[in-house]
Structure 1
Amino acid sequence: MSIRHLAAFTAAAALATATTAAAVPAHAATTTVTCGAHTWKASYYANTTFKGTPRKTVCDTKIAENYGTGDPAGVTLPKDNFGVRWTLTRNFGSGGPFGFSAAAQDGIRVYLDGKLDINLWKDVTKTQRKTVNLTVPRGTHTVRVDFAAFRGKADVAFAYAPRTSASVDKVAPLAPAGLHVTYSGSTGGAGLTWSRNVEMDLAGYRVYRRFPTATTWTRISGAGPVTSTGFTDTPPATGAKYVYVVTAVDRAGRASGVSAPVTVTSIDRKAPAAPTGVRATYSESTGAVKVTWAAGKEGDLRSYRVYRRTGADGAWVRLAPDSTPSTELFLNDQLPGGTAGTYSYAVTAVDASGNQSARSQAPSVTLTETSGPPAAVTGLTGTAEKYGVELDWDAGTAADLDHYEVSTGSWEINAYTGEPYFEKDTTAVVAAGTTHYRLVKALGSRPVSFLVVAVDTAGNATVDTVAATLDVTPIDMVDTPYPAPGTLAVRLDSVSETGAGGVLLDWYCSNASVCDRITGYNVYDFDYTTRAFVKLDAAPLPTVPSSWTDTTPARGTTHVYQVTAVLDDGTESFPSWGSIALAPAG
């Protein structure tokens, strides 16, 4: 006789146990029976004592069968005195109060973890029913249902469901696990995901946020619970950090503890405040406009930008480079020759994220016509020597010529205006009656850029872009091979020229762990002919004093010295070195 399955689940919410296995058809036979989560494993026996090997084992999404007066379809069993055993093992999460409901004709027994909770084991002529209320402990448990069809008609049903009344359910869900967050800098969204709770009475989740230093949480997921395991928040884009947690809430309204927290740092789209206290002052002596402003109070300020416009409605032009924040801020705008006209200046602040403030108020200055700067220097030449570089140029013709400024540095291009400017490293002042400059410095083999500017008595100077410039490649004197490292024990403190024309070396022990083991020091000078370091002392120098004077170097040369410590085992430490250029005599 064919088996008749119930067409749908019973109305009881207990049958939600099959939600994750709804795609598994009742009595889906398998060769090796492994049933999915929340799915019953049903074993069919040709007796009511469940002895021997089952005739068949299948997976059932629910226990709701009406066999009538025959045996189950798909398995050979006697129409009377056969048995079916269902088992299910699942994680009940935090556990709590449950209702177990059984109905059978004939016998039915229900066990929780091997403990008999429902016992209706007898041959009856109509369906017998019983419901018991149980408290299921937290964690994973096994439910077993034994059914016996003794004689005549046979049917069986079993369901279990959480009791969700707030007066009955006093057990909160477990805190959600696996909270993870990803942050999108383009959208500013914090995407939260977490693992689904296993409690059968789960209503959903609540999402909370706070600052790391705050002590209270703010619910950001709305009044009702979130029913999925994901949530996207868009925190204020201020560059601040935000901490998130999630709680689970059940149908009785009880909330779990908080999940493990996760943290994101939002993108910073908040611009600083516009600078205040901006002033512009013109100096006739220097021909420059000095712009000053008060330091901003934001902690992430990176720089300030100064803009200039001509007249009341001219276009704003950004001046370069940016100014680094400090407590007293200013920029000198060198207008060529003090060009007559009215100029306005404004300042903006830029933070570490590149957000730029609005422009400040725009004070203005009015310049009158001046005589203009001296003509640009001509005839600039440079000669590389063993001690540095010799520069010469033509004498200036301006009647009010005051001095020359000789600068070393490099040419750069302003990334915003595309205009070149000379980034100065050092600047020397040469009197107006002199057309020569000697740079005495130990140089490498890379070219050195020079810029020579003529300045008059009013402070007017040739602008950099038309001033005399020159690149000089020095003689390769100091690009010496670097030795293999050893024990660090000595540090060369200074290399200086003495009044008598020698070179004084001062050093000290830089590693306290080996200072007591130092028995002396060796001094070396680099030989540019052999390209090797030559030892200058026949025997190691004593440990006191930690200095030595080389009286042999020739004038007009560059020297590279090394000092090593000699340890008590005879080994030498890693060398410390320094260089010096000696000007020629006269």
Structure 2
Amino acid sequence: MFSKLHFLLIPFLVIATGVDSVKGQNAPGGDVHVVTREDGRAFVYHGQTIPLSHGFNVYRSVDGQDWQKLTESPRFPATDGYEFQKRLGALYPRVREMVRRDDPQAVFLRLHNSSDIGLITSFAIPEVAESVGRLFIDEEAPVGDTVYYRFEIVDDLERPTGEQIEGRAELQPVVPPPPSELAVANDADEVALTWNYLPSGTEEAKNVIRFQIYYREEGRGNLQRANDEFIARTSGDTEFQYNFRVPELGKTYTFTIHAVDFTGRMSEPSDGVNIRISENRPPAIVRNVKVQATDDYHSHITWPVSTELDLAGYHLYRARGDQESYTRLTRELLPALETAYLDTTVEPGNQYRYSVTAVDTAGNEGPRSNPGHLLITDYRVPDPVKTFEAEFNEGAVQLSWSHGAVPGNLRTYFVMRRQTHPRSGESFSQVNKKQLSDTTLLDNGVGGERFVEGAVYQYGISVISSNGNASDTVYAELQIPDLTPPESPTFAEAEMEEGRRVGLRWNASSSTDVNRYRVYRSLESRADTLLAELPRGKRYFRDEEVDFGNTYLYSVTAVDSMDNESIDAPVDTLHARRLQPPVPARNLQAMEMEEGVQLRWEQSTDEQVVGYRIYKSSLATGIYETIGETAGNTVEWVDQDGSAGTWYKVFPVDRSGREARTAKPTQAVQNNSR
């Protein structure tokens, strides 16, 4: 990724470089960074903040020998913003923009402290470092030796404060290598330069902090600076970019770029790049292209006039709806004020896309406009087919027809089918899955395998011309012969309901041509009495006329539209009886009379009760024995062998012989009226 930083963005530089990139790189013994030049000067930096009004003396020790004082008197940095502005002179406006402060005092205080911007700016511009007390230049440095430098901090009376900053360095000049792979491109007068540089950890390039770009107009000797702002070298990046504008178009320029280290020393220039900077910016895109069809099937294309000042004209492009690439229709440019075009080469029934480009006087062609779409609709309709016939033969339907006039070319016939009886939906299914141009078609049925016997099918056919228009649909209908009886229901059951009738249920036949069901009943070995004939949607029947105590046999059959009847779906033999036993007898009374014990009870209201059984026991909880029975309309009985103290129970009995489940025991008492 390219890094595009200039000094207006310098507050963010520390994110990429880190303070360590400008602090202590050559100072294993302290917080000092030394850059040695070939002329014998050593630029000695430190990263500390010296209190206002304080200064420093500088000492040097070669190979661990005695310290030598290098300053005759202490060096004092600027003490306020106005002195700082005066010291920088012509550099001050650039520095002020770099830190984005207007007031000189604010600029000074921002650079004086050890903030990221203060350190970076100090190491990038030596004059700033000297003005804030972070740089001493050793004019007679012992190049090639190992030396120690010491900053001794003094107060405003030149007295040592006891604070010192020390560091060790090898005084070896390192000439920064030039940038490489410089490339130049332009968009009109805006020039974009890209280049590569060594990684920040590379020994020979470790002191490089920024880049300087120069350019020269062909035929002129003077170099011009392309960047007044600060182009930072960001840590971790090896690819860089910078954009600026050249003063004139139509000129050939040579561009070079230099690497600059902490001392302001520049590398050798990169390889130069010669390029002619001309107007290569194409016109803006043309918008709002509109297309309409004329009555005689032509395309009329219009668009608004381009506002480009150097406009030369337009080109027009066309593509069919089924094609991706465009073809240019115009050999010569259309005039700048001619914003309409009539395309007479289109064909009805096709869709087209049109796009317009603007071209300037330099020959630059702008991007194609958004396409204008047009469908040249062909309203001609083919005639419907004639003599459409359908015939069933050996398990398949043979379709045949003849056709009339078809404007244009025949694309296909569209054959469809649906089952109308029994109805299986309103929609048609397409019979021919592929393009069809023959006038006959053999239909093998649903899924190519079957037709439903007895079902009625309706066929339709329409003619599709090459323009996509369809004729009216012609229909033919036939019924498939039904020879096979339908499948019988696979499940049928009968059960007593409410103790007085039989309910029958069954599932639907799997045959689709079934239109009704028949229900049979018999007391014999086969159900042969027709009870009911029900429509196909009703699969429930109630037999209200059953006699309790009888055993019945039921069966159900399915019947199709051709009156073919399935085999029986037999139901289990049913013994007609009520589900619940009778209700116990109520208000039983037992009294000893001359003829024995007379029993009386309340008449049952259950119409199924046909009699009563009488039981007696010597104990209320003892074993009761049957002693008699009565008819259903009799509510009294005399036990001739009974006596007072005997216990009795009376159980109602229904038609099926079931008696009540319980009965209340009653003890016979004496008749005190005797």
Q: Which has the larger radius of gyration?
A: 2
Structure number having the greater helix percentage: 2
